[in-house]
Chains A and B, each alone.
Chain A
Amino acid sequence: MIKKILIYSFLIITSILTLIPFMWMIGASFMFDGKASVFPPIFLPDPFTLTQYQILFERLNVWRNFFNSLLLSTIVTLLYITFTSMAGYAFAKYRFAGKKVLFNLLLSSMIIPSQVTMLPLFLLLKSLGFINTYMAIIIPGLANIFGIFLIRQYCISIPDSLIEAARMDGATDFQIYRKVILPLAIPILVTLAIFSFLGTWNDFLWPLIALTDDSMYTLPVALANLMLEHTKDPELMMAGSVVTIIPVIIVFLALQKYYIKGIMMGSVKE
């Protein structure tokens, strides 16, 4: 009982600590200029105002940036899930020459920090004429070894007999992938979709390098510009932050129920 109380107290305290900056951000976004920069910090806006949001939408092309972020994150997530699931499934269940070598090679590439690849990637995309287009964000996000690895591990746990049963039922390779593997892999696909969506939505450095036009900016890049112009306006900054994170929270809350859902139960006798 005491153990339970201790665990719960710890969890409650940690949750509060985690939520404090978040609550302050929301509170500050509804304050007048200068009201947020006080110590100790105030959480409830008094008086309450939507001025910061008004300024934000007037000065910045927020809708355009929001559209860019949403479009890019959605496209990248869909393509990422498609490609990594196909590759992961192939690595898990198909026999082909050089499979092990290729997979180890891909795995070893995980040790290369992404910053190192930015320059060659930029030059490559420039030579393809993709800089300052949506393709500059979509192409590098199509797949990564982390996703392939995760799907591969998940697919390994799917019994071969299910695939064989589908084959006996007359399914083609693609039909097996589409109608048997994908539905079974929903928990891991959702997990990866969340990672990918959050990653693309929050990504700052690469869009800053690859997109040069204001109208192409994603929300984090636009927000950074706002920061440079309005260093002394924390309330406006917070309003921008709220607009940036709301969609991400919605996506997370909507998908979290699929996160770890054990739908494998009952398919085969282990």
Chain B
Amino acid sequence: MAEVVLKNVCKIYDGGNKVVTDASFTVKDKEFVVLVGPSGCGKTTTLRMVAGLEEISSGEILIDGKVVNSLPPKDRDIAMVFQNYALYPHMTVYENMAFGLKLKKVEKSEIDKRVKEAAKILSLEEYLNRKPKALSGGQRQRVAVGRAIVRKPKVFLFDEPLSNLDAKLRVQMRTEISKLHKQLEATMIYVTHDQTEAMTMGDRIVVMKDGVINQVDAPMNLYNKPINKFVAGFIGSPAMNFIDLIIKSENKLTSKNGAINFDLSIKNKETLKNYINKSVSLGIRPEDIQLENIFNNSISIEANVDVIEPMGNETFIHFVADESQFIARVKPTKDLKLFEKTQLFIDADKLYLFDPHTGDNIV
């Protein structure tokens, strides 16, 4: 297995369209790194550059310490699982998995051994003689993973492999891929737009937006210490609430027409001094807004109930206060009525402040 290093990698298409800008990060040996971001953020292009399917405009990509910029995909010793499976329709499951090994002229007995091993890991043994069209979506995706496994590559690349599966199967395959990672002890790079997949699967996550890497960190660090408003809003479901407020003094925040007033107990008061009488974006996670005061240090505000979404084990409640909308994640409750004014408690220790222009986290 191997380490993958990206150094200032850029991708500029003909016509000057810059899709990846200065991407630099390291995927350690045996690490599972997830590239996450909204559609068009350049995550798939980055993965395809690692794969060798896309040329690099500038920068360097190293696999196992060797610069691979000009190496064709087959010489990079990597395997890729595609979003749409990309199985050869005229070949059986066995032939699909054996294709790469046959091209490498691996001995027949060895091919047979590896294919059967992979089929066992992926519970595909009884489907080896079937053609892809006779398989379900989940099975096809497993064949695609199997095709990667048999080659025993240095690095596995996954390009949104679960996005074509239904919700239940997606959760199942998610755990299977995580297990596979532990079992194979392989270096894996995984692209997804789904933050839940990123949070649950990745050892570390690379968050991208508009071709730029915003933050590279462990899932919980991204959640608890987002570097900017985009990362804060992208990681977590439901997303973080943002309310535009004005800083009146070092510890006083107010909304434009004064309906919301916060007393802040933020440690980093020096930074806040620069923002006095300026607007900032206040970030609150949905679970840090509750109907009862369960926090050590809380702030109380009043808001109108707009929408109630019971999920069974929890309830999402949308509130409106002073033209700002926000969502709370609370225990199931029957006490609330739509459009009624309610008192809310916010955990004052878990507030985030973002610069309204740069989006940077300022506390």
Measuring CB to CB, which residues of chain A are less than 8 angstroms from any residue of chain B? 159, 161-162, 164-171, 175, 179-180, 183-184, 263-270
- CB neighbours (8 Å) of B135 from chain A are 266
Cα of A268 to Cα of B164 in the assembled complex, Å = 10
Tell me which of A164, A167, A268 contacts B87 (CB under 8 A).
Answer: A268
25 contacts between A and B (CB under 8 A): A164-B80, A165-B87, A165-B147, A167-B53, A167-B74, A168-B51, A169-B74, A169-B147, A169-B151, A170-B100, A170-B103, A170-B104, A179-B99, A184-B90, A264-B89, A265-B89, A265-B133, A266-B131, A266-B135, A267-B85, A267-B86, A267-B89, A267-B133, A269-B84, A269-B164
Q: Contact between B73 and A267 (Cβ–Cβ < 8 Å)?
A: no
Cα of A266 to Cα of B74 in the assembled complex, Å = 25
- CB neighbours (8 Å) of A183 from chain B are 90
Report if B140 contacts A (CB, 8 A).
Answer: yes
Cα of A180 to Cα of B100 in the assembled complex, Å = 12
Min Cβ gap A223→B in Å is 41
- CB neighbours (8 Å) of B53 from chain A are 164, 167-168
Please give me the residue from chain B that is nearest to A95 by CB atom.
B14
Min Cβ gap A260→B in Å is 16
Cα of A11 to Cα of B189 in the assembled complex, Å = 59
Q: Contact between A159 and B86 (Cβ–Cβ < 8 Å)?
A: yes
Tell me which of B78, B89, B99, B164 contacts A266 (CB under 8 A).
Answer: B89
Chain A CB within 10 Å — which of B86, B132, B147 has the most?
A: B86
- CB neighbours (8 Å) of A266 from chain B are 87, 89, 131-135, 140
- CB neighbours (8 Å) of A171 from chain B are 74, 99, 103
Known: A169-B103, A170-B100. A267 touches B74 (CB 8 A): no
Q: Contact between A168 and B79 (Cβ–Cβ < 8 Å)?
A: yes
Besides A265-B89, A266-B132, 12 other CB < 8 A contacts? A159-B84, A164-B80, A168-B100, A169-B151, A170-B73, A170-B74, A263-B89, A266-B131, A266-B140, A267-B87, A267-B133, A269-B85
Cα of A121 to Cα of B151 in the assembled complex, Å = 52
- CB neighbours (8 Å) of A164 from chain B are 53, 73, 80, 82, 86
Q: Which of B3-52 contact A (CB under 8 A)?
A: 51
Report if B88 contacts A (CB, 8 A).
Answer: yes
Chain B's interface size range is: 20 to 34
Q: Which of B218-271 contact A (CB under 8 A)?
A: none
User: What 1/0 flags go to B122-141 for Cβ under 8 Å of A?
Assistant: 00000000011111010010
Cα of A63 to Cα of B11 in the assembled complex, Å = 65
Interchain residue pairs A-B with the least CB separation, the first 9: A266-B133, A267-B89, A169-B100, A170-B74, A161-B86, A165-B86, A268-B84, A266-B132, A183-B90
Cα of A263 to Cα of B73 in the assembled complex, Å = 28
Min Cβ gap A171→B in Å is 6
Please give me the residue from chain A that is nearest to B134 by CB atom.
A266
Cα of A238 to Cα of B224 in the assembled complex, Å = 90
Q: Which of B88-118 contact A (CB under 8 A)?
A: 88-90, 99-100, 103-104
Cα of A270 to Cα of B133 in the assembled complex, Å = 13
Q: Contact between B140 and A168 (Cβ–Cβ < 8 Å)?
A: no
Min Cβ gap B89→A in Å is 3
- CB neighbours (8 Å) of B131 from chain A are 266
Please give me the residue from chain B that is nearest to A161 by CB atom.
B86
Known: A266-B131, A267-B132. A165 touches B80 (CB 8 A): yes
- CB neighbours (8 Å) of A162 from chain B are 86, 88
Min Cβ gap A93→B in Å is 13
Please give me the residue from chain B that is nearest to A267 by CB atom.
B89
Min Cβ gap A267→B in Å is 3
- CB neighbours (8 Å) of A269 from chain B are 83-85, 137, 140, 164
Cα of A264 to Cα of B86 in the assembled complex, Å = 11
Please give me the residue from chain A that is nearest to B137 by CB atom.
A269
- CB neighbours (8 Å) of B85 from chain A are 267-269
- CB neighbours (8 Å) of A184 from chain B are 89-90
